C-alpha cells in the first residue's frame, strides 16, 4: 500500500511517500480503507521528535492520527462493525498511521461516521472533536451560563470548541487574527479578541474556564481572566505530574515533568484555580456523541484545504505555518 512515512525524527526532514506492507491486524482491531485523513499540529510535533521519549514509535513511521473510511476486515474480538461500514476514528496513541491507504484501529476507538458528513469532513473531526469534548465536557464540566475563553478560535480545535461550548449554553470568548474576526463570530463566539490589536487579559475577567493551545506567555496570562474556582485546561503544556503518572513514565522523566509545570501549578494555586494538562485520548464512545451532535446540526467541522496523499509533506508544512482556518485534510481515496 502507499503511505507517507518518516525515517528519522527531524523538523527539517519532510518525510516521503513509500510502498509498504499493509499493517497486521490484531484480534481487537479493525482494518479500515482510509478515504481521508486530517493533519494535526500533533503530526508535526511527532515528526520533529517532541514526543519520542513519551511515545517511542519504531522507525520508519507512518504518520497520521485520525481518519474516515470503510471497514475492510475485523479481528476475532472486534466484530461490532461489518465490512463496508462507514466509520471514523482517532487512532490510539500507541499505534498511529492514517496517512496511508489502509490503517488498523482498535475497535474501542472506532465510531460510525456521521451520516450528514462526507469522508473528508468526517476525517477532519476526530482528534479536534475529542480534544474539545474532553477539555470542556469531561475535565472542565462546562455548564450553561458559564463563561469560557477559547484561544485560537480559527484553528482546528478552536472551531469545534466554540460550537460545542455554544451548544452547552456557555458564553464564549475567543482570540484570533484580524482576518478571522468576523469568521469566528459566525461560528458562535460572543466576544472576539483580535490578538494583533488587543490584550485579552486586559479586556476579560471573571471567566470560569480557559482552553489554551498557545505558548507560555498566553498560558500564564490566561490565569488573570479566571475567577477563583476557575479551570485552566491546556493542550499545549506543560504536562503535569498526574499526566506523567498516567503515562507510566520513568522516575527521572516524572521529575522532569514536575519541574516543567511547577511554575504554572504554583501560579494557579495562588489564584485559587485549577490547572490541567490534556493529552487527548482515543474514545469511540465519545465520537458517537459527537456524531449525534453533528447530525443535530449543533457542530460541523471546518475545512481549510485538502491535499492528495502525494502532497502530504506540503500539507504538513502548511499546518506548521499556523495560518489555516479550520482543518487541513489528506484526500487518500
Length of the chain: 333
Q: Are the CB atoms for 224 and 201 separated by under 8 Å? A: yes
Is 296 inside a domain boundary?
no
CATH number at residue 56: 3.90.180.10
Which of 261, 277, 293 lies at the terminal end of a domain, its last residue? 277
pTM score of the predicted model: 0.97
Reduced to 3 states (helix: H, G, I; strand: E, B; else coil), residue 74 is: strand
Do residue 144 and residue 256 come from a single domain? yes
pLDDT digits (tens, 9 = 90+) for 6-56: 999 998 888 999 999 999 999 999 999 999 999 999 999 999 998 888 888
| Whether the Cβ atoms of residue 303 and residue 118 lie closer than 8 Å to each other | no
**Residues 168 and 268 both lie in one domain:** yes
C-alpha–C-alpha distance, residues 134 and 60, integer Å: 31
- Same domain? For 95 and 135 the reply is no
Same domain, 167 and 56: no
The average pLDDT across 125-150 equals 98
Q: 141 and 264, same structural domain? A: yes
Beta bridge partners of 89: 67, 110
Domains in the chain, number:
2
Report the CATH number that the domain containing residue 250 is assigned in CATH: 3.40.50.720
What 8-state DSSP symbol labels residue 180? G
287 domain-assigned: no
How far CA 141 is from CA of 147, 206, 219, in Å, comes to 12, 17, 20
One domain for residues 137 and 249: yes
Q: Is the pLDDT of residue 237 over 90?
A: no
DSSP category for residue 115: T
**Which structural domain range is residue 9 located in?**
2-125+301-331
Q: Look at residue 283 and tell me if it is in a domain.
A: no
Residue 319 maps to a domain: yes
Whether residue 160 is found in the same domain as residue 212: yes
Average of per-residue pLDDT values in the chain: 96
Q: Of the candidates 121, 97, 123, 39, which has an alpha carbon nearest to the alpha carbon of residue 328?
A: 39
109-134 pLDDT tens trace: 999 999 999 999 999 999 999 999 99
- Tens-place pLDDT, residues 86-97: 999 999 998 999
- Distance (Å, rounded) from C-alpha 330 to C-alpha 333? 9
CA dist 299 and 163 (Å) reads: 6
Half-sphere exposure of 247 (CA within 13 A, CB side): 24
Task: Kindly state whether residues 52 and 152 are assigned to the same domain.
Answer: no
Amino acid at each position: 500500500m502507499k503511505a507517507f512515512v518518516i525515517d528519522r525524527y527531524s523538523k527539517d526532514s519532510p518525510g516521503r511517500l513509500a510502498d509498504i506492507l499493509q499493517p497486521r491486524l490484531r484480534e481487537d482491531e479493525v482494518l479500515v480503507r482510509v478515504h481521508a485523513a486530517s493533519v494535526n499540529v500533533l503530526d508535526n510535533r511527532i515528526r520533529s521528535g517532541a514526543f519520542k521519549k513519551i511515545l517511542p514509535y519504531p522507525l520508519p513511521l507512518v504518520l497520521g492520527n485520525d481518519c474516515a473510511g470503510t471497514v475492510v476486515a475485523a479481528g476475532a474480538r472486534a466484530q461490532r462493525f461489518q465490512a463496508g461500514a462507514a466509520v471514523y476514528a482517532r487512532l490510539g496513541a500507541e499505534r498511529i498511521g492514517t496517512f496511508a491507504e489502509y490503517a488498523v484501529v482498535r475497535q474501542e476507538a472506532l465510531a460510525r461516521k456521521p451520516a450528514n458528513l462526507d469522508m473528508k469532513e468526517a476525517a477532519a473531526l476526530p482528534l479536534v472533536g475529542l480534544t474539545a469534548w474532553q477539555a470542556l465536557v469531561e475535565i472542565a464540566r462546562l455548564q450553561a451560563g458559564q463563561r469560557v475563553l477559547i484561544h485560537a478560535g480559527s484553528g482546528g480545535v478552536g472551531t469545534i470548541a466554540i460550537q460545542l461550548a455554544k451548544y452547552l449554553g456557555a458564553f464564549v470568548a475567543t482570540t484570533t487574527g484580524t482576518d478571522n474576526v468576523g469568521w469566528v463570530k459566525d461560528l458562535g463566539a460572543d466576544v472576539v479578541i483580535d490578538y494583533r490589536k488587543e490584550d485579552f487579559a486586559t479586556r476579560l475577567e471573571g471567566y470560569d474556564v480557559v482552553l489554551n493551545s498557545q505558548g507560555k506567555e498566553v498560558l500564564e496570562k490566561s490565569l488573570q481572566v479566571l475567577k477563583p474556582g476557575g479551570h485552566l485546561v491546556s493542550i499545549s503544556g506543560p504536562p503535569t505530574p498526574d499526566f506523567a503518572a498516567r503515562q507510566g513514565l520513568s522516575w527521572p522523566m516524572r521529575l522532569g515533568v514536575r519541574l516543567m509545570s511547577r511554575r504554572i501549578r504554583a501560579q494557579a494555586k495562588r489564584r485559587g484555580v485549577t490547572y490541567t494538562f490534556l493529552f487527548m485520548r482515543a474514545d469511540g464512545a465519545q465520537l458517537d456523541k459527537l456524531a449525534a451532535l453533528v447530525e443535530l446540526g449543533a457542530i460541523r467541522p471546518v475545512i481549510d484545504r485538502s491535499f492528495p496523499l502525494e502532497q502530504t509533506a506540503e500539507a504538513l508544512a502548511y499546518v506548521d505555518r499556523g495560518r489555516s482556518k479550520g482543518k487541513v485534510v489528506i484526500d487518500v481515496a
